[in-house]
Chains A and B, each alone.
Chain A
């Protein structure tokens, strides 16, 4: 962290600070950019929750609110997904990434004004994008729906924000980067390439035929694993040692897991279209890569098991740790199931079923969402110098979010299997298939409702804290202005 710099260590850049920077200085440099990003993320989380609940209800109540084109399922669903991914998860991820980079580099965050501007450009772009989706301008590719006038704005906003993390990293006090830092930097580095390449290949300079879908599958895999998944893993790898006081048990194991996940994880996207209209080798490569990611997952799990005892002792009194540990557990389960799901024998039964959206949502809400919420609960009091006004709400949020992810996982994975078996039974009419999956799809509504309630509690807690901080900041000025000035003494 901010360990004193040894004199023998090579100084990375000439501009590196001479001595260790106090944590308070680093936190103060982060206060505005990170808090603005987090407040925006909390707002988007509520919006995404509302849209997701509405979309989930429409799946089993198809006659509801049917008269409005913008409220049809085919528009609400992508709007909810984009609000969740680019509103909540990405903005919270950026907030955590910037703060973690500054803390771990032992250097104050640079470029605060640009980051604020970038956050607003991203926010505005996403607003245009969501309105566009609801108006029917979505590009149609699942996960890449943002219309062509919105996606460049997001990229522009990103390019105003993320480079400052790299510039801060370049001025780091310690040359050795730690495990959490690899994940943060990889996520920050990968996102713009993946986002830009996928939008170019599908929308701006579309490839021929099904290659558009191949680019989309590649993008979704990298978005879920290398962007959101790694931001979540970074929070886990930072906060668990921090809160338990036990270092990551094996650095080399972590290094192995990191490279295995990066190398094979990014190859595994095409498993999404197994058996589809593609050359068979494409899905075979993806299936093999997906299976190989298991080694990386095992490495992460072994590292986690190494500090399990220390974690269990502290779990009772730290909400942050609970969020983060649950995210780790969900990561292990989701990554293992994703690897299993890329095997062709399994894919035959799970393709085109609830398993596909189920695993996607587990990556976003279960892995990235839970870990980033935990990080949010950790960093806000430190940045603002104020405790959470309602710690009870934070505990309630944990139980709601955990229940949401649990219900979601069980309903969509079990339901997906039922759905797949029903689809595979050619004697069953499609109405019969619908009857089989509907109970599980309706349970998805419950999961989204629980998630929305949790989001509301988080937003409320954050709002009260920000208002309190503003009042504290304004109070002395107000009091000074209100107190009558002593009259000038005339000579």
Chain B
């Protein structure tokens, strides 16, 4: 390499290209997203936080909560089941497709395929694979049912009803997605935990309520005050959940603790709207097939359906 300038220009081009793909191109795709109005709920999602919660975001950042807690719900790997319910009028072609999907079902000649209906065809395969098979079968005139076989461990744990998407973070700065789960995910903490006192106690000493927890203590967010003899502890003093303050003392949350808890309660990424909602496949159920407008017009998920993923 005799040419210094070539080296510098080449390296600059390579790094610039990575900047373009990692930041600039996505900026044109999602960089101008705005909160969307959701008429049923009368809100602009994501909802702007109240002042105290906004200050709590600063406490969250300053204490480095994101070094142990992520704030993103994953839904991967997404698996699906596929069942044939009816072969339709062009049974020969549909049989050929079935035979190509499941060679073990074909037998010697494949003429009596599938024997009984409904016949489970694919079980716990990648969603994209099941969807491609569904498309081929419906093109051949068959009726199939596509159901989700799993929801991902995050959703099964109750960390959120759906995966998180870019729009969930529009009101955040800094956006602290987190990289390691030394503690549980907090994307929907405000949904699953509504007891203020329990959050205060977790911050004061997580092992009061949950022995064996690895969460650090944050006693500096609280004030230990001496009680006047005979006086009642103030209403905001920590109590309950097996917590016993030192005799003659009360433990009161400081301003930072109140702000942080207000912020934690505001952590919600559970609103469903078109971006986080995948309508069930058209032939999924007789009810949806009979009234397709109802299935696609509502933002709420079908009552018994697992929450579907967004189309990326």
A contact residues vs B (CB 8 Å cutoff): 12, 58-60, 62-63, 66-69, 72-75, 77-78, 136-142, 169-170, 175-177, 182, 185-186, 189-190, 193-194, 197, 201-203, 206-215, 217-218, 221-222, 226, 255, 259, 262-263, 266-267, 269-270, 272-282, 285-286, 344-345, 348, 351-354, 356-357, 419, 423-426, 430-431, 433-435, 437-438, 441
Contact = CB atoms under 8 A, between A and B. Distances in A.
A439 B130 CA distance: 40
B68 interface: yes
B177 A273 contact: yes
A469 to B, nearest CB: 35
Interface size class of B (residues with CB under 8 A): 35 or more
Contacts of B61: 138-140
A62 B177 contact: no
Name, among B2, B19, B65, B212, the residue most crowded by chain A CB atoms within 10 Å (CB to CB): B19
B63 A74 contact: yes
A18 B156 CA distance: 74
A222 B15 contact: yes
Contact of B22 (A138, A203, A269, A430): A269
B27 interface: yes
Given A142-B179, A186-B11, A211 B2 contact: no
A356 B177 CA distance: 14
Contacts of A273: 72, 177
B213 A73 contact: no
B153 A426 contact: yes
B169 A62 contact: no
A281 B22 CA distance: 10
A215 B8 contact: no
Contact of A72 (B178, B213, B216): B216
A269 B1 contact: no
A423 B168 contact: no
B175 A170 contact: no
B7 interface: yes
Interface string B3-36: 0100110111011011101110011011111000
B174 A140 contact: yes
B241 interface: no
A67 B224 CA distance: 12
B67 A77 contact: yes
B177 A213 contact: yes
B175 A218 contact: no
A133 B297 CA distance: 49
Contacts of B67: 73-74, 77-78, 142
Interface of B: 1-2, 4, 7-8, 10-12, 14-15, 17-19, 21-23, 26-27, 29-33, 61-68, 70, 72, 74-77, 153, 156-157, 163-170, 172-184, 205-207, 210, 212-220, 312
B179 A431 contact: no
A58 B215 CA distance: 10
Closest 5 CB pairs of A and B: A74-B64, A280-B312, A136-B62, A426-B156, A66-B217
B180 A348 contact: no
A72 B176 CA distance: 18
Contacts of B64: 72-75, 77-78, 138, 140
Contact of B12 (A78, A189, A197): A189
A433 B32 CA distance: 38
Contacts of A58: 216
B2 A352 contact: no
A158 to B, nearest CB: 16
Given A67-B219, A73-B67, A262-B15, 20 more contacts: A59-B182, A62-B216, A63-B217, A69-B220, A75-B64, A139-B61, A141-B176, A177-B7, A193-B12, A197-B19, A211-B30, A226-B15, A275-B75, A276-B164, A277-B164, A277-B166, A277-B168, A352-B179, A353-B181, A434-B182
A78 B68 CA distance: 12
